[in-house]
Structure 1
Amino acid sequence: MKKSIFILSICLLAAKFSSAQLLPSFQFGAKAGVNLSSFSTNSSALAADNRAGYLVGAWARVGAIGFHFQPELYLTSKSVNVSDGSNINKATFTSIDVPLLFGSKIGAFGFGGRFYTGPLVSFAVNKDQSTGTALGNISRLNYKDQNLAWTAGAGLDIKKISVDLRYEYGLSKQSYGNNESTRVNLFNLTVAYSLFSF
């Protein structure tokens, strides 16, 4: 009798794990978080200090046979201070970001870890900079209207809540000053909630 109960338990666990990993699934939810922007400068006369920003938006996840596709849409704010030692350009860029992520998940019963990577397209909606007269165009970042990045990260799922940590490497170069250039790199920490799934 004990052997039969043990075998039945193993079969139920295997069926649950298989359904969680192999059968088609869909999830949709909301997410919000913080980011830390990284703008490198090639100029010895200028220094860039990273500042925290935010992001808020929605995500969807379609999965089957152990893999998933996760498109997202969110509003994000990227900030940096560019200084020549006495004057500061406080630059904040707001954009609509669209990551298209591909990944895999391990785990069952609503708990698991995810790993993913994919491209991101960013559309600038606001470019706010406070350049002083002394700095002028030397520190002004010519942030493009459309930018590309590559994203990689990992996440932890606990029932309907997900926590993600990811890195975005800017593929588009941003120009500033006299023929100087930089890339926008970000670290994102977000919390997501699954509104519905099937």
Structure 2
Amino acid sequence: MKKFLSTLMVMACLVIAIPAQAQIQFGVKAGLNVSKLHLSEETFSSDNRTGFFIGPTAEFTLPLLGLGIDASALYNQFGVDSEEGTSTKKTIEIPINLRWTIGFSSLIGAYVAVGPQFGFNVGDRWFDNVCEFKKNTTSFNVGAGVKLFGHLQVGANYNFALKDNGTIHANEAIGFKQNTWQISAAYMF
């Protein structure tokens, strides 16, 4: 019984101590995105289109386990080509990722991250009265990166749509999905 109580006491102390050791960092994240629209007809060019994103980010990490959560509020912009010309989609994207970090030393580490991303359209919903983007979208992130010097993070992730991001109104309504590669740099304060 004494061993059980001792073990229980040690576990309780660890549970209390781990949050006290937790690290919360805030920073700024920016990067380049390369998007591709997936659709069944060629009303729009589905070739890769580049854009950018920027915004605040936060990271909560439990150092003992290397597990954490990162979240950002990113202004995201990318181009779409139609037969009438190029249009630009503007959104606020909120990725919330579960992150596992491995520290090789105090100066360098690596991480992998997965989680949902929620997007909210803040630009025009219509492009040339042909394409309509949804007001909000949901997608999923898978990514990896490195942490350098305790403050700089460089990463890449792939974001794929879980459902249609919009509709093209040609002869009939055709849904499409937008998948995106992102390369980012973040500076944590």
Both structures adopt the same fold (TM-score exceeding 0.5): yes
* Pair 1:79-2:79 in alignment: yes
1:143 equivalenced with 2:133 (yes/no): yes
Amino acid at match of 2:68: H
Q: What amino acid is aligned across from residue 72 of structure 1 in structure 2?
A: S
Alignment partner for residue 178 of structure 2, among 145, 166, 184? Answer: 184
Name the SS for the 1:47 alignment partner.
Answer: coil
Question: Aligned pair in 2 of structure 1 residues 180, 94: CA closer, same or farther (>3 Å)?
Answer: same
What is aligned with 2:52? 54
TM (norm. structure 1) is 0.76
Q: Which sections of structure 1, spanning at least 5 residues, go unmatched?
A: 1-21, 132-136
Q: For the aligned residues, what is the CA RMSD?
A: 1.9
Percent identity over the alignment is 23
Aligned equivalent of 1:119, options 116, 119, 122: 116
Instruction: Pick one of 32, 36, 40 that aligns with 1:34.
Output: 32
Instruction: Tell me the distance in 1 between the aligned counterparts of 2:127 and 2:161.
Output: 23
1:109-130 CA-to-partner distances (Å, cap 9, x unmatched) read 0311010000011111002766
Distance 2:126 2:135 in 1: 15
Distance 1:44 1:57 in 2: 33
Q: Give the unaligned 5+ runs of structure 2.
A: 1-19
TM norm structure 2: 0.79
- Give yes or no for contact 1:49–1:80 (8 Å, CA) kept in 2: no
- Cα 1:43–1:67 change in 2 (3 A) is same
Deviation at residue 172 of structure 1 after TM alignment: 2.9
How many residue pairs get aligned? The number is 163
1:175 aligned to which of 164, 167, 179: 167
Correspondence for 1:104: 100
Give the match for residue 43 of structure 1.
41
User: How many angstroms does 1:48 deviate by?
Assistant: 2.2
Change (3 A) 1:100 1:166: same
2 CA distance for matches of 1:95 and 1:69? 22
Please give the alpha-carbon distance, in whole angstroms, between the structure 1 residues aligned to 2:167 and 2:43: 16
Partner of 2:23: 25
Contact 1:50–1:79 under 8 Å retained in 2? no
Moved beyond 2 Å, runs of 4+: 44-50, 127-131
Contact 1:29 1:59 in 2 (8 A): yes
CA distance in structure 1 between the partners assigned to 2:61 and 2:43 by the alignment = 50
